[in-house]
Chains A and B, each alone.
Chain A
Amino acid sequence: AQSVTQPDIHITVSEGASLELRCNYSYGATPYLFWYVQSPGQGLQLLLKYFSGDTLVQGIKGFEAEFKRSQSSFNLRKPSVHWSDAAEYFCAVGAYYGGATNKLIFGTGTLLAVQP
């Protein structure tokens, strides 16, 4: 069955430090992979996506993610975290469901806290 695992429920980093959020997926076909960010009380904002091609994808706000097929991973990285990056981060895989329709399968999210 398709699934997305985000092993870290909560991560705290210092402002200016580097960040890596982990995501592992299970999907039989070519995965379409996404990272979304949700600030408190806000909607979902797409950070970046991987459909095909270069396995290192660049997103908004200085984020990047690397697709590693051999590890079934799509980890999100940022070299220097800003206080405004504090939010919930969701990894998702776009799946083709039952021969009928697309759907997004989300991980459980990682809550990022940023210390001054």
Chain B
Amino acid sequence: DTAVSQTPKYLVTQMGNDKSIKCEQNLGHDTMYWYKQDSKKFLKIMFSYNNKELIINETVPNRFSPKSPDKAHLNLHINSLELGDSAVYFCASSQDGTSEYYNEQFFGPGTRLTVL
């Protein structure tokens, strides 16, 4: 009965590979997000999706392509992985993230990506 789940928890891969991280929420939320936590622990939003539609792309390279097959899932596909992509990626969800009244975001456990 995990609210926001991510798979895998750890991902180790070589430079140049393509990989995906999956996220699922069972909270019935409309909006899902991806955040990146870099090696200095700095957390920053990457994407926001509302009802399967991309709302914001926070200057993320084109190698990152989020896909939302339905509003309960938001996957992150990364092409041509680079060393600098090593980070912890957090998925989150909230009720109507397009509202000007902020709705609390609930986070997944994170996926630690290591690019060798």
A interface residues, Cβ below 8 angstroms from B: 32, 38, 41-44, 46, 49, 51, 88, 90, 92, 94-106, 108-109
Contacts and interface: CB of A to CB of B under 8 A. Distances in A.
Interface in B71-116: 90, 92, 94, 97-100, 102-105, 107-110, 112
Given A32-B102, A88-B41, A108-B41, A102 B110 contact: no
B27 interface: no
Interface of B: 31, 33, 35, 40-45, 48, 50, 55-56, 58, 90, 92, 94, 97-100, 102-105, 107-110, 112
A42 B88 CA distance: 10
Nearest to B111: A43
Given A103-B33, A109-B41, 20 more contacts: A32-B102, A44-B107, A44-B110, A92-B43, A94-B104, A97-B48, A98-B56, A99-B100, A100-B55, A101-B55, A101-B97, A101-B98, A102-B102, A102-B103, A103-B48, A104-B45, A104-B92, A105-B45, A108-B41, A108-B42
